Amino acid sequence: MTAVSPPSHRISAFFHRKPKLRLGLLLTAPMLWLGLAYLGALAALFITAFWSTDVFTGKVVTDWSFDNFVTLFSDSVYRTITFRTVGIALLVTVIDAVIAFPMAFAMAKLASPRAQRLLVIMVMTPLWASYLVKAYAWRTLLSGNGVLNWLLNPLGLSGPGYGVTATVITLSYLWLPYMILPIYAGLEKLPTSLVDASGDLGAKSFRTFRSVILPLTFPAIVAGSIFTFSLSLGDYIAVKIVGGTSQMLGNVVYDNIGAANNLPFAATVATVPVVIMLVYLAAVRRTGALDNL
Amino acid sequence: MKNRKTLLAGLCGVSLLLAACGTSGSDSKAGSAPGAQGFTPPKLNALTQLGQPEGQLNVLAWPGYAENGSNDAKVNWVTPFEQQTGCKVNVKPFGTSDEAVTLMKTGQYDVVSASGDASLRLVASGDVEPVNTALVPNYNDIYPFLKNKSWNSVNNVAYGIPHGWGANVLAYRTDKVQPEPKSWSPMFDEKSQFKGKVIAYDSPIYIADAALYLMAHQPDLGIKNPYALDDKQFKAATDLLKKQRPLVEEYWSDYLKETQSLKSGDGVIGTAWQVTVNLAKSEGAPIAATVPSEGATGWSDTWMVSAKSQHKTCAYKWMDYITSPKVNAQVAEYFGEAPANSKACAEFKDKSLCDTYHANDAAYAAKIQYWTTPIPQCLDGRTDVKCKDYGDWTRAWTEIKG
């Protein structure tokens, strides 16, 4: 950077002599963004969770109490919904990882450079279409007289109908690109010579995969999992479209804001995914995977 | 009188309507007895006479109620109003009654098209004021069965001009559901033959549908009004809905989603709006609708004036214009509901629609229990018990869906 600045330019020269000041100024904007917009909003959310709402006028009453948290922990329905949501998010993550890895591997290691570019574009294409269109497309596919049943009926099978299974399928489809792209990037960085060396030393392909490829691309899989896991954890639209009667944490938050005008309780519920994500990130950090991001 | 004072003190104690208690104390005539709705609104006066149009009007409306050609160039009844009155109209559509209540608190809107589950809250919090119906000539032609109802008046003081209404009907596939259902039982009976094919409305207010069913099938619960439920009645209604859940294919809040479900046959019977039925029929699906013997819930909308409005003359001109026969017909036909103006039916492009929507049918309208916000003071007038409020309803709804 500094080599490019013309020495005659006084300001850049000044900053060149004071690297710490330069760094400080450069970091101010992102730090403000992180501190105010992100952490500030989270803090406000957490504070709101201790307040309550006047049921009739709909105004927020700023009396401090743990009532919302008591409701959250004592009512079994919220436990059920939390477990269902985490279960769906984990399942989506696993399914996406299993599907994405071979795809990313083929893209990064087997395809020609020209085909590689084309494949990346093809993986990204669904991201250009609206989330809603894709979710409603799945609603049509999974319908009682939809394509899926039409294909399965001759085999004596039937589709899953609307419900948790349909939600997992739809979310897995929606977030798949977010898993493929990080793994693809990770595999691209993996030197082919290492794979060759493993083969030269007598390892069969599975051994090479287990001992060389997987450990080196694990951080990339974790990076992808953070996307798929957190996006599934917060989702409320897909489950509304194909989830039949089931609901996720996002629906509880949405209903409390939209229908009940109860922002405090919505905030209380919203802390659940935040806490789960913190636990998840802490667990991921312990594996050392974040250092490689 | 003493009892009434105790009652009033009790109401104040609930601390819901501090402003209302403050004003009603000095006004012994109107304020000593709470209205039939169980609360006393803040004392506000209606406009006594119209002035010069202020040149501006901010309208808060359900989508489809105040079209200005921006959604569909062919649908525009805002521009003619602007030309007639010189009131420049800004339209803000809202998606839910709760959103409307929140937005009205800002005081930035002059008029709002409020459904019954919003209007009482607006009246009680003093966000809207009484309406002088004498200044709205078209009010004379409004169907009598829509005037001075519990959701648009308090103590016989009108708080708005009725706009249109409709019922949450029982829709079913004529090829799968035979004979024609005469009761809501297929949707609630545990042994229903339509298990997994039932479609239910996705909102806490749907608890009222269960309460309505219990009114007819468990009279010993003593439910008089499906929006006024004490602990025991509320538990019975929510238990009924929990038992209904295994029958339900899905809950809908987007009427297009329900149309699709009925069309594809994933659901064969469900609670619906007339517009859903029309839409599905027009796309060739064998769908019919009925109001079963137990009656039905529904909505009735009212144009109301903000207490903080700076453009009251324009607001009154708007209320008169939007409920005039021709415009009322345009809106009702576009949205799919019964118009409030008795002369509107003659203005419909599709004359059969007025029969479809039962516009002139007071008996049909009487069968409908219109959406009303549940509040702690029982809406049916009971004072010995506390009723469940909308917050309780919402929490219960989460629990029902599980």
Distance CA B205, CA B190 (A): 22
Q: Do A57 and B96 touch (CB under 8 A)?
A: no
Higher pLDDT, A57 or B372: B372
Q: Judge whether residue B6 has pLDDT over 80.
A: no
Distance CA B192, CA B190 (A): 6
- The pLDDT tens digits for A181-210 are 999 999 998 888 988 898 899 888 889 888
Among B202, B398, B400, the residue to mutate for chain A (most A Cβ within 10 A) = B398
Query: What's the pLDDT at B376?
Result: 84
> Rounded mean pLDDT of A131-139?
92
Q: Do B375 and A75 touch (CB under 8 A)?
A: no
> Rounded mean pLDDT of B102-126?
89
For B268, nearest residue in chain A (alpha carbons): A144
Q: Do B121 and A247 touch (CB under 8 A)?
A: no
Q: Judge whether residue B372 has pLDDT over 90.
A: no
Higher pLDDT, A2 or A179: A179
> Rounded mean pLDDT of B112-120?
89
Q: Judge whether residue A17 has pLDDT over 60.
A: yes
Query: What's the pLDDT at B35?
Result: 42
Q: Judge whether residue A257 has pLDDT over 80.
A: no
Q: Mean pLDDT of all residues in chain A?
A: 86
- The pLDDT tens digits for B68-89 are 888 778 889 999 999 999 999 9
Query: What's the pLDDT at A288?
Result: 64
* Core vs surface per residue A90-103: b (16+ CB within 10 A) or e: bbbbebbbeebbeb
**What contacts B316, CB < 8 A, 6 or more positions away?**
B47, B50, B132, B135, B136, B305
Query: What's the pLDDT at B37?
Result: 52
Chain B residues closer than 8 Å to A77 by CB: 398-399, 402
Checking ipTM against 0.85, whether it exceeds it is no
Q: Judge whether residue B9 has pLDDT over 70.
A: no
Q: Judge whether residue B13 has pLDDT over 50.
A: no
Q: Mean pLDDT of all residues in chain B?
A: 85
Q: Please state the length of chain B.
A: 402
- The pLDDT tens digits for A208-242 are 888 889 888 888 999 899 999 999 999 999 999 99
**Is residue B39 within 8 Å of residue B124, measured between CB atoms?**
yes
Q: How confident is the model at residue B28 (pLDDT cuts 50, 70, 90)?
A: very low
Q: Do A244 and B249 touch (CB under 8 A)?
A: yes
Query: What's the pLDDT at A263?
Result: 83
Q: Do A57 and B125 touch (CB under 8 A)?
A: yes
Chain B residues closer than 8 Å to A139 by CB: 257, 260
3-state percent breakdown (helix, strand, coil) of chain B, nearest 5: 40, 20, 40
Chain A residues closer than 8 Å to B251 by CB: 245
Q: Judge whether residue B5 has pLDDT over 80.
A: no
Q: Do B398 and A144 touch (CB under 8 A)?
A: no
Query: What's the pLDDT at A8?
Result: 60
Q: How confident is the model at residue A75 (pLDDT cuts 50, 70, 90)?
A: confident
Query: What's the pLDDT at A3?
Result: 53
* Core vs surface per residue B137-174: b (16+ CB within 10 A) or e: ebbeebbebbbebbbbbbeebbbbbbbbbbbbbbbbbe
Distance CA B31, CA B308 (A): 22
Query: What's the pLDDT at A239?
Result: 93
- The pLDDT tens digits for A159-189 are 888 899 999 999 999 999 999 999 999 999 8
**Is residue B119 within 8 Å of residue B130, measured between CB atoms?**
no
- The pLDDT tens digits for B291-350 are 999 999 998 999 999 999 999 999 999 999 999 999 999 999 888 899 999 999 999 998
Exposure of A155 by Cβ count < 10 A (0-12 exposed, 13-18 middle, 19+ buried)? Answer: exposed
For B39, nearest residue in chain A (alpha carbons): A56
What count of other Cβ atoms lies within 10 Å of the Cβ of residue B400? 25
Span of A44-48, B18-22, B53-57 with lowest mean pLDDT: B18-22
Higher pLDDT, B210 or B401: B210
Of A71, A162, A256, the CB nearest to B249: A162
Interface of B with A (CB under 8 A): 16-17, 95-96, 98-99, 101-102, 105, 121, 124-125, 196, 203-204, 245, 248-251, 253, 257, 260, 264-266, 373, 375-376, 389-391, 393-395, 397-399, 401-402
For A76, nearest residue in chain B (alpha carbons): B399
Query: What's the pLDDT at B71?
Result: 73
Chain B residues closer than 8 Å to A81 by CB: 398, 402
**What contacts A147, CB < 8 A, 6 or more positions away?**
A140, A141
Q: Apex CA A127: angle with CA A216 and CA A178, to 5°?
A: 20
Distance CA A162, CA A246 (A): 9
Q: Judge whether residue B214 has pLDDT over 80.
A: yes
- The pLDDT tens digits for B226-252 are 999 999 999 999 999 999 999 999 998
